[in-house]
Amino acid sequence: MRLVPDFIVQFFTKESTLYKELQTMLGFTPSNLALYELALCHRSNSNNSTENNERLEFLGDAILGAIIGEHLFVKYPTRPEGYLTDMRSKIVNRKTLNQIALKIGLKELMKFNEQDYYLRDSLIFGNALEALIGAIYIDKGYAKTRTFVRKRIMIPFVDIELLESLEVNTKNKLIGWASKQGKKIDFILIEEKLERGRKKFTIGVKLEEEIIATSTAYNKKEASKIAADEAIKRLEIAP
């Protein structure tokens, strides 16, 4: 069974600029070259629903979660499950991954509809980073993928001590602010849908009668947290 569409295979060669830039980014020589191009292809760039990085993103999300979970489990042998879960959530947060993707230059390598201004500032680059991890896993196996995540993501971009010092529950912070202001605030489920075999939730922050922020994620907790972050920024609530 062919993993990569023919239209991608014919354009991705060892002589291409993309290949050389990708090699520098990864720190190793890719074997299945076209697989990485597929990881960098957003669905807005293809008319065919299967010729994009969404399946690799699904795989990369699971692999990244396992690697981060293993890292935290070994690094903090006395910490309870709640701490490990919270720290993993902070590291694999969609916004966090998107920032890392931008820092390593993934946006410049991606194929997406650049005429869509929404996409330019969206989280598709963090999703592509997960797809890239999925491609590495298929191409090189778990050990190589773990090395990439540790050396190219964890060491340069993840500050565990800083993450520990961050407010653990921005949702509670927002609720506390609303209480002091005498205002009513709620977190409401706007939409729940099945996407690529997984449930995806859109959560909204409702202040009085106005929805002031929304976020979509694969679990309600993460969607609520990101929506709370956005609401805090919009309301300019001090740290």
Domain boundaries, the chain: 6-165, 170-235
The listed range with the strongest mean pLDDT (63-77, 101-115, 157-171, 173-187) is 63-77
CA dist., res. 22 & res. 39, Å (int):
11
Share of the chain above pLDDT 90, in %: 38
Q: What is the mean pLDDT of residues 50-79?
A: 92
Signed CA dihedral, 173, 174, 179, 180: sign only? positive
Q: What is the mean pLDDT of residues 97-109?
A: 91
Q: What is the pLDDT of residue 80?
A: 85
Q: What is the pLDDT of residue 128?
A: 93
CATH number of 170-235: 3.30.160.20
Q: What is the pLDDT of residue 120?
A: 67
In our burial notation (b when 16+ CB lie closer than 10 A, e otherwise), range 196-223 reads: eeeeebbbbbbbeeeeebbbbbeeeebb
Catalytic residues: 61, 130
pLDDT confidence tier of residue 167, bands split at 50, 70 and 90 = low
Looking at per-residue confidence, does 174 or 114 come out higher? 174
Look at residue 10 and tell me whether its pLDDT is greater than 70.
no
Look at residue 159 and tell me whether its pLDDT is greater than 70.
yes
Does 3.50.50.60 match the CATH number of domain 6-165? no
